[in-house]
Structure 1
Amino acid sequence: MYDSSTYGCNITNPMNEQQKSMYSHIPSLLIKLRQQMISYPNDYFQGRGIVLTVGPNQMSLAKVNLKMIEHSRTRLSVQIWYSSTTISHKNMIKLFKHAPRVNLSVCCFHTAQCRTYQKTWQLNTTHVYKPSTTNLAKNFPYKPAAILSATFAEVLFLDSDAYVTRDPEELFLLDPMYLKFGALFYPDAHISRQDSMVWQLFNTSCGKQEYEFDSAAILVNKERVWNGL
């Protein structure tokens, strides 16, 4: 066990009582989730692609993102995942006209369907994760849900406002960190939370100069990091 005591942490951003209550349930939840883990489905995921999620307030950002992807001239396919409880299929279809040269599909968590402008197909519901929106972090489960549910074996996940300026396919092919570990993360602008409760959960010591990783851009080889996902 590392030094995760209150004394060892320089607490400048303590959690409130609501956050502490949420964190107190995580250790038992992790044990439960480990018991529910399934093996990587070797015959299901294929190829590489870009994955986004979108909600009602992010449609304009998604349109810009698609245009930037189109300008990069990438050959990567794109899947945009959404919840039909918050945004209509009709509104999602409107995205196709903004970047007609992008190989785009829009995919719904709740119907387990993907569609292009011309066709719709059913996905294997076993491999589509429907994110819960009943907890405190209701906006965040969509990111890992989209990475897991996307039909690609290798995924570049982007927030709606995280834009590419050149073809991102070279990250899959050439980035040394990605090739070594099967994942590539970028630092966020924020120093990690200095609260002992967080570090006890991770069974590690407080990193005074460690930055949180920015979940706006995540590159993963799903087979290699499946258990972590």
Structure 2
Amino acid sequence: MRNLKSTLAAMLLLLSPLALAQDLSAQLQAFFTQRLTGFSDDVTVEIRTPQNQLPQCEQPTLSVPASARLWGNLNVLAQCGSEKRYLQVNVQAVGNYVVAAQAISRGSKLQPGSVELKRGRLDQLPPRAMLDISQAQDAVSLRDVAPGQPIQLSMLRQSWRVKAGQRVQVIASGDGFYVNGEGQALNNAAVAQNARVRMPSGQVVSGKVSADGNILINL
């Protein structure tokens, strides 16, 4: 009987780390599936940290930096009380991304048929690949792009809504007041970007470009 108990105890000791690893794998799967909602509906997580270096509690608190990407090779912070461990994981995610539907010439403005969505591995895309096709609307290409090539945000700039030298309306508003006047734009700017404007008095002000081309200043 004593030998049987010893054998069972030894088996439990061996199975316990394996069970913890399997549970951690499921937790990581749920963690990344939730965060990739809207980007990917097919997520696979592989733990690359050796089993003897995994956290020893049943439900560690998992986190990644807010600015970190959510696929590819990542470090995940797993915290059990005051104990912290960094896990190396590989996250594979399948979803839609934006590619060139036809050849795009540098300097050309994108048209509705210039780009299209393609489904594939997001973790294999180049950095800052575009996932939202609306971001390409009215954008200008900064380089030549081949058909089928993934669109990176660095390849495009938004069309200028305001151009240097253009006369623009400046609208300043605050708590209980509203003032507007006309000035001359000093730089090119797209919607939601900052534009500097010289007013008739010579004063230079700065505000955000609205969709209708006005310069908005919140005081």
Please tell me whether Structure 1 or Structure 2 has the larger radius of gyration of its CA atoms.
Answer: 2
Higher normalized helix content (fraction of residues): 1
TM-score (norm. length: structure 2): 0.20
Larger strand proportion of the pair:
2
Higher RCO structure, 1 or 2 (CA under 8 Å, sep 6+): 1
